[in-house]
Structure 1
Amino acid sequence: MRRLPVRSLIIPSLLALALSACSGQTQRPASVSDAAPAAAAPAQPQPAALADLVKAVDIPYEEFTLSNGLRVLINTDRKAPIVGVTTYYRVGSKHEPKGKTGFAHLYEHIFFGGSENVANFDEPLEAAGSTSTNGSTWFDRTNYVETVPTGALDLALFMESDRMGHLLGAVTQDKLDKQRGVVQNEKRQNDNRPYGLSNYVTQDVLLPIGHPYRHSTIGSMADLDAATLGDVRQWFKDNYAPNNVVLALSGDIDAKTARPLIEKYFGAIPRGPEAPRVQAGPVTLAAPVVRDMADQVPTLRLTRNWTGPGLNDADATALVVGLDILGGLSSSRLDNALVRGSQQAVSVSASTQLHEQLSFIEAQMDVKPGVDRAVAEKAFDDVIARFIAEGPTEDEVRRSATRTVSGQIGALEQVGGFGGKGSTLAEGALYSNDPEQYKKDFAALAALTPEKVRAAVAKWMGRPSAAINVVPGTRTEKGDTMGGWGDEATSPARAKDPKVAVPAIAKSAPRATPPVAPVGELAFPAIERSTLSNGIPVTLARRTAVPKVVVALNIDAGTSADVLDTPGTQQLMLSLLDEGTRTRSSVQIAEEQERLGATISAGAALDSSSVMLDALSANLAPSLALMADVALDPAFDPGEVSRVRTQQLSRLAQVKANPAALASRSLSPILFGPGHPYGLPGDGLGETETLAALTSAALSAAHAKWFRPDLAKITVVGDVTMAQLKPLLEKAFSGWRVPASAAPAKPLKAAVAAPNPRIVLIDRPNSPQSVIVAGRVLALTGRDQDKEALDLANEVLGNGFLSRLNLDLREDKGWSYGVRSGVSAPVGPRSFTISAPVQSDRTGDSIRLLLDNIKAFPATKPVNSVEYNRVTDGNIRGLPNRFQTNGQVLGAIMANDRLGRPDDYYVTLPGRYRAIDATALNMAAMTYLQAEGLVFVVVGDRKVVEPQLKGLGLPVEVRAAAASGN
C-alpha cells in the first residue's frame, strides 16, 4: 500500500537493526551503580573496531545523466537475479503552496492509477514477480520502488517511464475522486489512533504559518476536497519532469547494460520546469510553549520538541548520536533515570527526525499511572537539562556509533525497497549531490567526540522548547480540521471540487509493453544440520553477502502456552530475560550489546517463544555468550518483575485504547473459545487481573518449565561456517541440560468454540473510522500439506493490493485505506480472517460488500485468467525477492521446521504452483473462504455504527470499550 514512512535518523535511508527489540523489551539504568547489584561482571568482550566496521559499509556505483536531465545511478550486486528500481522525484509536501496541502501525497496515489499505455501499474508488475511495488511521500520527496526479476527489468523501466512521460492523458475525474477518498481514509486511520493528533499540534507550534515544513504531508481535508482535475494535472506538469528525478538501479545489472535501456525508455521525455528551491530552515521559538491536548488514551504523554539542523549540517550526525544517547539506546539516560531509576515512566524515547533543510527533535515520556504530573515533569526536564549541560561519555558515543553502523551493514542486504542500497544512493544524490554521502556521514560518526556531541546538543536543545502533552480524557479536537496551512480560521472556507469538465488531453503515440524474459530458478541457500551434545538441533544456512549473523533460539511455547499457565506469562517472562542475570546487571547487558553492535530480543509468537540475536560476524563469539546468559540464567529479581509488570499493564491499556489492536485481540477468544490454546488474546499480554497475579516465583517456574533443551531448536543464518559455529554454540549452551521431569505439551487438539455468527460491536465514541475484523476457524491445521491452492485463492480474495476486497472497498469505493484477508498457518487449527478499517458512515455498507465478495467467489465469480496468472506467475517469479536478507531466510527455515515441511520446500514451490489450476483455486475458495460461520468484530462509535448494522442478517452484540480507552 502507498504509505508515508517513518524517516530514519542518521542518514535518510538508514534501516533499523534487522532484528529490533521486541515490544516487550524494557530499558536500562544510567550506570551500574543505579541498578541492583549483580555478581562480579564478566570480562569485557573485545568488539571489532568502529573504524573497521565503517569501512565495511560500501555501495559501489556508476553514474550517468541523460540529456533531459535524468540522473541515473547503477549498483551491481549479483547475489540474486533481481534488480531494485528506485525512483526519487524532488517534490514533497514542503513544495505545496497555500490551498494545496496534501497534493504531493495525493498525486503519489494517482500515479499508481494507470497511464496512457498501462491500465494498472500493479497488475503487470505483480504478475512479473515484483515485490515492494510501492510509493511514499514525505516533506522533501516522493519515491516509487519495486524489486523485480532481472527478466522483468524492461517492463519496470517501461512502466516508470510511461507514468513519467505519458500519464496526463489517463488522469480522469473518476481517478481523482477515488484516490481522494483513499487518502482521506488514510488520514482518518492515522488520526483514529491514540495520540494520533499530536504531530499536527507539534508542527503548528514549532513553525510559523507558511513555513514549508509546518503543514502535514497528508494535508487538510478541506484542501483535498477542493482539489480539481485541473489542479492535479498542473501539479504533474510543474513537478514530474526527468530533470527533477534520480533513478537508481541496484542488483543484477551493470551500467553498460542499463544505459541503452534507460535511453530507450526515458530518453524522449522532455525536460520540464526545475523543482523550486524553498527556504525552510529551523526556527527558534521566542519563549517556551506549553500545550496540553486531551485524547482517549490511558497514559499521560509528555514531550519536549525543537526544530534542528538539516541533514547536511555539520551538527546533524552529532545531534543524532546525542539524542540516541539521551533516549534511543537501551542504556539511554532517560531510561536509566526515569524507567529504571525513579520508575516514574513506563516508557521514554528521544530522537532526531532528519530532513533536507531541518530536523524535528523530540524527547518523550509516558508517565507511570499514579505518578504526580508535576513531579514527573520536573524529573523529565532535569534529565534533559543535565545532559545538555554535561554531554555524553566517550563510551556512550562509541556504543551509539557502533549500533548505528551495525544497522547500516544489515541494510546492505537489500538492493531495493524503501531502505536498501538504491535508496541510500538516490537520497545522497538528491539531498547532498553525492551518492556516497553515507560515507561522509559514517566518517563523521567514527570521528565523533563527546565534546562535539555535547556542543551540538547544547546548541540546539538549549533553546526554548515546545512541550506538547497528551492528557487522558475526551478528545475534543478533530483531525479533519488539522494538518493544513494554519490560517483556516481567518480565511474563507475552501469550496469542494466543483468537478468542472476540463479539455481532454490527447494521448501520445502508443508504446508496446515489453514482455517478461524467463526468470531463473530460486537459489535457496544450502541447509546444514547438526546436534549439540545436549540434544539441541542446530540448522545453518550460510550466506556471505554481509558480515553479519542472525541466530534464533526457539522454544516450543509461545502465547498459546499460557493456557497451561497464567495469561500474560510468556510475554512478561520473556520481557525480563535481559533485565538481569546472576552474573550481569541489566545495564551491563545493554551496554555489552551496544559495544558489540549486537541486538538481543525476546518475544512470543502463537506457537513459539524466541530469543533472537543479530550480530556482527567479527563479534559472534562474545555475542553468543551474552545471548546464552540472557536466555538461560535470568534473575527475575522481584523489584524488576514489579517494574516490568507495570510496563506490561501499561502496554495492555494502550492496546485497549487502540481501535485496531483492540479489535484484533478481541477476535481470537470469540473464535476459539477459552478452552483452546489459541483462544487467548493474540497479543499475549493477558488481562489486568492475571498480570497482577504474576510473581517472580511464578515467572521463574515458567522459565524452568518451558526453557529446556528438549523443547529448543537453534537456527542460524549468515556469514559463518558450521565448523566455526558449532564450537561456539557448544561453549555457550552445552551446560544446559534436560530436566528429569516430562516436557509440557500444549493441548492443540482441544475442541474449539462452536461457530456463532454475529456482529460484536465494541463502542468507542468519537471514532472517525470503524475497524472491522472478522474470522472463522477452519477444519485444517498448518501442518496439513499441499494447501498452496488455499493461499493462492486467498491472494485473489483479499491478500494483496490487487485482491478483490481491497480493490472494491479501497480503489473503487474509496471507503478504506486498505483491506486484507489472511489464512493463518500455525501448528494447530488455521483460521480465515479479514481486516478492514473503514470510514464510520460506511461501516454497514462495507460489511455487506465484504460478504458479497466472499459469497461470489467462486459461486458467481470464479477466478479469472488475469487473477490466476498474477498469483501463480507472480509468486513463482517473485521467489528470489523474498530471500534478500538473512532474516527472511531465517524466517523461512523456521516456518519449514514448525510446519514439518522439507528443507527444499521453497525450491520445489514453483513446481507446486505450476501444478495448481484455476479449478483448484475455486475449490479452495469454496471449501475454506466462505461466509458461513464468520463472526465480525467492529470497534467504532456505536451511535453512528449500530443503525447501519440492521438488515445485514446477523445478530448484534454490543460491548463497551475498556474504560482506560475512553
Structure 2
Amino acid sequence: MSFRAALLALSLSTALVAVPAFAVEPAPLSELVKSVDIPYQQFTLPNGLRVLVHTDRKAPLVHVGVWYHIGSKDEPAGKTGFAHLFEHIMFYGSEHAPGDFFNYLQDIGATDTNGTTWYDRTNYFETVPTGALDRAMFLESDRMGYLLGGLTQARLDAQRGVVQNEKRQGDNQPFGTVDYLVNDVLFPVGHPYRHQTIGSMADLNAASLATVKNWFSSHYAPNNAVLVLAGDIDLPTAKAKASKWFGSIPAGPANIHPVVPIPTLSANIDKVMHDQVPYARVQRSWVVEGVNGHDTEALDAALSILGGLSSSRLDNALVRGDKSAVGVSAGLEDHESLSIVTISANVKPGQDPAAVASHLDAIVADFIKQGPTADEVRRVATKEVAGQIAGYETVGGFSGKGPTLAQGLLYSNDPAKYKKDLAETAALTPTRVRDAAAKWLGRPAFRLTVLPGVREDTPEMRAIRGDVAPPAGRGASHFRKPGEWPATVVTQNAAPDRSSFPPVGQLAALSFPSIERATLANGIQVFLARRPETPTARVAVSFNAGTSADPRDAVGTQSLMLALMDEGTQRLNSIQIAEAQERLGATISGATTLDRTSMQLYALKPNLAPSLDLLADIVRNPAFAEGEFQRLRAQQLSAVAATLADPSNAARYVAGPIAFGPDHPYNVWGRGNGDPAALAKLTRDDVVRFHHDWIVPSNAQVFVVGDTTLAEIVPLLESRFGNWPMDRRARPVKDLTAAVPVKASRIYLVDKPGAPQSVLRGVLALPVTGKSDLVPLESANDVLGGGFINRLNNDLREEKGWSYGAGSAVTSFEGPATFLAVAPVQTDKTGESLSAMIADVKAFATTRPIEAAELARSVNGAVRALPGEFETSDAVLGALQQIVWLGRADYYYVGLPARYRALTTTQLDAASRAVIDPAHIAWIVVGDAKVIRPQLEKVGLPIETVELPKTN
C-alpha cells in the first residue's frame, strides 16, 4: 500500500466510529409553519399615509422604512431612470436637513441603512437605536415633505453622474448586459417593464431640474407611501410620532399606475450574444404572473425543484449527472404586476452549449409532463419556512419583519400576505405544482445563448443597453406623458418645529451574550452564546487552517477540499446530503478565511439533533469520491475563470502576491479558489492529505449561537464530536511571522479590453496584526474611507462624480493586517481618479489631520451602531469567533463604547501615520489598457503590467 493510500485508509477508518445514525424524523411542517408570525397593527393618517407597527423588544432598536409606490414601470418615455435617480437625490439634502443624509444617519448609529428602487417601488430604510427614533423620523419626513427646497442643479448633476457610474459598474460585470436583451425581447414596445430600472444614459443626461422637480411633486406624497416601524416600539408611541412628523405633510395626487399586460411570445425566439464571460450560458425566460397571481407560489415551487434546491432536477442531471454544466439556476423574479422566470445553465468549458440547452429543455418538458414528487414539494416548503425564520431574525434590512409587512401592504393591500403565501406553499400538491409549470412554462420562451468573445457593440445593442438614445418607437411606456402629470398639491398645514434636529434620547448599552465554555472528552473546546429569541441555532466547527494553509504550489487545495466535504460521505452521496438538509430545513456550508476553515450549520431548533448528525458525518467522514473530485475541480476552475473575468475580483486576485510577496502564507489573499495551473494538477490524494493534516480534532473548536443551553448542546456535541479520536502526531504549521517585503509605491496594470470602467485598488501590508489594539487605527480609517461618509467617497463620488463609491478598510487577520483602498471609476477619469486617491491618502498621512467633527461623527456612529450590529445570531457567531481567535476579552464588544469615547484626534492621527505609509502603497488598476495607460503615465509612478493566468 502506498503512503497516500495508507493515509486515506487512516483518515476514513478512524472517522467512521460512533457518529449517530440518521434516525430522528424532522419536525412536522405544520409545526414549523406555525412558528412564522409577525404580529402587527395598522393605522392611516388623515393625509393618507398608511402606517404599520410591529413590536419586538429583543433589542433597543427600531426599523424605520418608507415605501413609495413609484418605480421604473411608472416612468414615461424619455424619462427612464427617474425613479432610481430620485432614490439617490433623496439622500442628499432637504430644506431642514441640508447635505448628505448618510452623515446624519451615521451620527445616530443607524445600521441596515439603504435606499432601493425597483420596477414597482422606491424605499428608504434604516434601523436606529430607540433613543434616535425621533431624529430618523424627522429625516424621513423632511425628505418626503421638504425635499425640493434642498434640490439644486449642482446636486442633480452630481447624482446623475453617480447613477451613470453605477450603470457602468453593473455593465462591466460578466453577463452584465444580458438583462437588457432579455427585457427587449420579452416585452413589446411601450410595455412599462421593458426598460431597466437603471435607465438610459440619454434620458439621464436630458433630465432638467424642472422636470425632475415635477417628477417628485407628482409621486412622493404620503398618500402614495407606507411607513413601517418595527422593533422597540408600541402602537401609542408610533401614532404619536407618525402624527407629529408626517401628519402635516399634505396629500398629493394619487399615483395612477399603468395597465400592465402579461405578454406571451408567439413562438420561441432564439438569440446568441457574445460577451467577455468565463463560460457559455444557456438561458430560458418567460413572463408570468406577479406576486398576487393565482399560480405564483406553485410556480415558484416548481422552479425551486427544477433549479433552486441543492438537489434540483437540473443540478442532478447537468452538474452531478453528465457534468456538462458547472452551475444551474431556476427562479422567479417577482414584481407587483408580473414576474420574470429564468432557467439557466453555465456550460462547462469544452461542452457543447446546444447539447446542454437541449438537455435542459428535455428536463423542463419532463417535469411539465410528470410533475414533482411529494417529497420534493415538502422539501421546498420546509426550506421556505426555514428561510423565513432566518430572515425574520432582523426587524429591518432588505428582508426582515418590517420590510415583509410593508411589501405585503404595498403590493397586495395585506401586510400578512407572507403568511398566506407560506400556508399556500405548505399545502401544495404535486399536481398543483405540475399544472402551474405546464400552464406557464409550456408557452414559447426566449432562448438565449451567451458565448465567450468580444462584447457586441452594434448600434442596436447600444440602444438596448441605453447607452445611446433608443430608435424611434423604443423606450418606456406611453401610458403617461409629462403633460399628463397631475398638478402638485401645495396646501400647507401646521407643522412641527423643524428649526433644529430633535435631540437623541438615552441610548441603551450594548447587551452582548455571555460566553459559556465546555470541553468535550477528546479536548475539543466548545463556546456558546445563547440567543433564545428565535427557534434556531448556528454551529461552526472551526479549524486553524484557511487558505493560508494551502501549499504554495497548490493554491486552491483548501477550497476544493471544503467544497467536497458536503458532496459525499461514507454513508451518503451528494444528492442524499442535499435532500437531507432540505427535509430538515437546515443549511450546511463551508466557510473560509485566510486563517480558518469551518463547516457551519444553520438549524431549526426542533431539528437540531438530526442536523448535527448530518454535520458530524460531513466533517468526519467525507468520501472524496473520485467522480465528485473531478466534478468539483472543474467547477472550481470555472469559478476562478469567473473571478478573473470580473474586474473587481481580478484586482483582488492579484493583490496577495503584490502585498505579501512570494514567501508569506498570506500571499494567497484574494486567490482562495486557486490558480488555474495548480488546480489542473491537483489530485484526490492532495485533497485527502489536506483533510488529514488540518481537519483533525486537535485543531478544532466548536462555536454555537442560538436557542440552546450548555446543558443541552454539550451532550449532543459529545456524541458526535467528543468521540473523534485525537491525533497527537506533528502537523504542518503556518509561519505568519515570515517577512513581508517593503517596496516603493507603483502601479500594477491589468488589461481588460473594452471595459467601460476601471477598478482602482491600493494595498499595503501593515506592521500590526489582528491581535494588536486596532481600535484607534480602525477609527482613523473610518474618517478616510470607512462607511459612507468618508474623505475618499466624498472626493470621488460626491464632489467629482467619477465613481459609484470609494472607500478604504483595515482588514485584520491573525497575522499582518492590511490597508486597502478601493474605487471603481469611469474609464476616461482613471488617471485623475488615481491621482486624487493618492493625494487624499497622502494628505491624510501628512498635512490634513483628523478634525474634531470627523472624530465625533465616527465615535457617535460606532457607539450608537453597536446594538444594531449584533441583531442577528450570525453576527454574534462571527464576533464570538473573533473573540476567541484574536485572544480578546469576553467583554470586548461591551467595552468598546468606552474605548471609542476616550479616543482623541491625536491618537487617531498617530495610529494611522505609524503604519499607513503612502510611499509604499501598491496601486492595482484593472481596465482597458490602451485607453487608460496614457492617463496613468501622468500619475508619476512606475507602471508594471500584470498578466492574469490563462483559464482555458
When normalised by structure 2's length, the TM-score is: 0.94
Is the Cα–Cα contact under 8 Å of residues 288 and 464 in structure 1 kept in the other structure?
Answer: yes
SS of residue paired to 2:945 = strand
Quote the residue 1:95 is aligned against: 74
Q: What is the distance in 2 between the residues matched to 1:384 and 1:916?
A: 61
Please list every run of 5 or more consecutive structure 1 residues that lacks an aligned counterpart in the other structure: 1-39, 495-504
Quote the residue 1:160 is aligned against: 140
Deviations 1:169-225 (Å, cap 9, x if unpaired)?
110000000000000000000000011100100111111111111100001100011
SS of residue paired to 2:895 = helix
SS of residue paired to 2:326 = strand
SS of residue paired to 1:389 = helix
Quote the residue 1:471 is aligned against: 451
Deviations 1:732-768 (Å, cap 9, x if unpaired)?
1122122131132101111112324210111111000
Q: In structure 2, which of residues 640, 643, 655 is the aligned counterpart of residue 652 of structure 1?
A: 640
Quote the residue 2:14 is aligned against: none
Alpha carbons of 1:224 and 1:44: their partners in 2 closer, same or farther (altered >3 Å)?
farther
Is the Cα–Cα contact under 8 Å of residues 310 and 316 in structure 1 kept in the other structure?
Answer: yes
SS of residue paired to 2:240 = helix
Alpha carbons of 1:564 and 1:532: their partners in 2 closer, same or farther (altered >3 Å)?
farther
Quote the residue 1:398 is aligned against: 378
Quote the residue 1:490 is aligned against: 472
Q: What is the distance in 1 between the residues matched to 2:250 and 2:608?
A: 53
1:952 partnered with 2:934? no
Q: In structure 2, which of residues 624, 635, 640 is the aligned counterpart of residue 636 of structure 1?
A: 624
Q: In structure 2, which of residues 124, 127, 145 is the aligned counterpart of residue 147 of structure 1?
A: 127
TM-fit CA distance, 1:336: 0.5
Quote the residue 2:303 is aligned against: 323
Is the Cα–Cα contact under 8 Å of residues 596 and 619 in structure 1 kept in the other structure?
Answer: yes
When normalised by structure 1's length, the TM-score is: 0.93
Give matches, 1:763-842, under 5 Å.
763-785=751-773, 787-842=774-829
Q: What is the distance in 1 between the residues matched to 2:539 and 2:20?
A: 24
TM-fit CA distance, 1:570: 0.3
Q: In structure 1, which of residues 902, 909, 922 is the aligned counterpart of residue 889 of structure 2?
A: 902
SS of residue paired to 1:907 = coil
1:580 partnered with 2:559? no
Deviations 1:78-98 (Å, cap 9, x if unpaired)?
111110001100000000000
Q: In structure 2, which of residues 152, 157, 160 is the aligned counterpart of residue 177 of structure 1?
A: 157
1:346 partnered with 2:326? yes
SS of residue paired to 2:52 = strand
Is the Cα–Cα contact under 8 Å of residues 210 and 485 in structure 1 kept in the other structure?
Answer: no
Quote the residue 2:709 is aligned against: 721
Q: What is the distance in 1 between the residues matched to 2:858 and 2:632?
A: 45
Quote the residue 1:536 is aligned against: 524
Quote the residue 1:373 is aligned against: 353
TM-fit CA distance, 1:924: 1.9
**Paired residue type of 1:471:** L
Is the Cα–Cα contact under 8 Å of residues 543 and 718 in structure 1 kept in the other structure?
Answer: yes
Deviations 1:527-571 (Å, cap 9, x if unpaired)?
110011111110011111110000001100000000467211000
Is the Cα–Cα contact under 8 Å of residues 322 and 453 in structure 1 kept in the other structure?
Answer: yes
Between stretches 356-365 and 377-386, larger displacement belongs to: 377-386
Deviations 1:877-897 (Å, cap 9, x if unpaired)?
111001111101000011111
TM-fit CA distance, 1:158: 0.5
Q: What is the distance in 1 between the residues matched to 2:259 and 2:741?
A: 62
TM-fit CA distance, 1:603: 2.8
Q: In structure 1, which of residues 663, 674, 683 is the aligned counterpart of residue 662 of structure 2?
A: 674
Q: What is the distance in 1 between the residues matched to 2:409 and 2:491?
A: 35
1:191 partnered with 2:166? no
Quote the residue 1:115 is aligned against: 94
1:278 partnered with 2:258? yes
**Paired residue type of 1:865:** A
Q: In structure 2, which of residues 585, 588, 606 is the aligned counterpart of residue 600 of structure 1?
A: 588
SS of residue paired to 1:946 = helix
**Paired residue type of 1:482:** I
Is the Cα–Cα contact under 8 Å of residues 800 and 806 in structure 1 kept in the other structure?
Answer: no
**Paired residue type of 1:108:** E
Is the Cα–Cα contact under 8 Å of residues 657 and 964 in structure 1 kept in the other structure?
Answer: no
Quote the residue 1:23 is aligned against: none
Quote the residue 1:14 is aligned against: none
Deviations 1:617-664 (Å, cap 9, x if unpaired)?
000000001001001110011111111101111111111111110011
Quote the residue 1:665 is aligned against: 653
TM-fit CA distance, 1:42: 5.0
SS of residue paired to 1:595 = helix
Between stretches 747-756 and 177-186, larger displacement belongs to: 747-756
**Paired residue type of 1:98:** A
Alpha carbons of 1:759 and 1:792: their partners in 2 closer, same or farther (altered >3 Å)?
same
**Paired residue type of 1:800:** G
**Paired residue type of 1:634:** P
Quote the residue 1:685 is aligned against: 673
Q: What is the distance in 1 between the residues matched to 2:418 and 2:329?
A: 25
For these two proteins, the number of residue pairs brought into alignment is 916
Percent of counterpart pairs with the same letter?
A: 51
TM-fit CA distance, 1:858: 5.0
Q: What is the distance in 2 between the residues matched to 1:163 and 1:935?
A: 42
Is the Cα–Cα contact under 8 Å of residues 212 and 280 in structure 1 kept in the other structure?
Answer: yes
Is the Cα–Cα contact under 8 Å of residues 194 and 475 in structure 2 kept in the other structure?
Answer: no
**Paired residue type of 1:452:** R
* RMSD after superposition: 1.9
Deviations 1:381-437 (Å, cap 9, x if unpaired)?
111111111111000000011001101011111011111111001001001101111
SS of residue paired to 1:844 = helix
SS of residue paired to 2:471 = helix
Deviations 1:817-848 (Å, cap 9, x if unpaired)?
11121111100001111111000011110111
**Paired residue type of 1:250:** A
Q: What is the distance in 2 between the residues matched to 1:792 and 1:754?
A: 25
1:407 partnered with 2:387? yes
Quote the residue 2:554 is aligned against: 566
TM-fit CA distance, 1:953: 2.1
Q: In structure 2, which of residues 816, 823, 830 is the aligned counterpart of residue 843 of structure 1?
A: 830
Give matches, 1:348-363, under 5 Å.
348-363=328-343
SS of residue paired to 1:603 = strand
Quote the residue 2:909 is aligned against: 922
Give matches, 1:8-23, under 5 Å.
none
TM-fit CA distance, 1:930: 3.5
Quote the residue 2:12 is aligned against: none
Q: What is the distance in 2 between the residues matched to 1:923 and 1:734?
A: 48
Q: What is the distance in 2 between the residues matched to 1:636 and 1:547?
A: 34
Q: What is the distance in 2 between the residues matched to 1:413 and 1:510?
A: 35
Q: In structure 2, which of residues 30, 33, 46 is the aligned counterpart of residue 51 of structure 1?
A: 30
Q: What is the distance in 2 between the residues matched to 1:264 and 1:949?
A: 54
Quote the residue 1:20 is aligned against: none
Q: What is the distance in 2 between the residues matched to 1:160 and 1:551?
A: 39
**Paired residue type of 1:593:** Q
Q: What is the distance in 2 between the residues matched to 1:538 and 1:882?
A: 24
Give matches, 1:448-459, under 5 Å.
448-459=428-439
1:260 partnered with 2:248? no
Is the Cα–Cα contact under 8 Å of residues 698 and 728 in structure 2 kept in the other structure?
Answer: no
TM-fit CA distance, 1:485: 12
Give matches, 1:886-901, under 5 Å.
886-901=873-888
Quote the residue 2:366 is aligned against: 386
Q: In structure 2, which of residues 509, 514, 521 is the aligned counterpart of residue 526 of structure 1?
A: 514
Please list every run of 5 or more consecutive structure 2 residues that lacks an aligned counterpart in the other structure: 1-18, 477-489
Between stretches 830-839 and 479-488, larger displacement belongs to: 479-488
Is the Cα–Cα contact under 8 Å of residues 676 and 949 in structure 2 kept in the other structure?
Answer: no
Is the Cα–Cα contact under 8 Å of residues 587 and 603 in structure 2 kept in the other structure?
Answer: yes
TM-fit CA distance, 1:375: 1.9
Q: What is the distance in 1 between the residues matched to 2:515 and 2:840?
A: 42
Is the Cα–Cα contact under 8 Å of residues 676 and 752 in structure 1 kept in the other structure?
Answer: yes
TM-fit CA distance, 1:298: 2.2
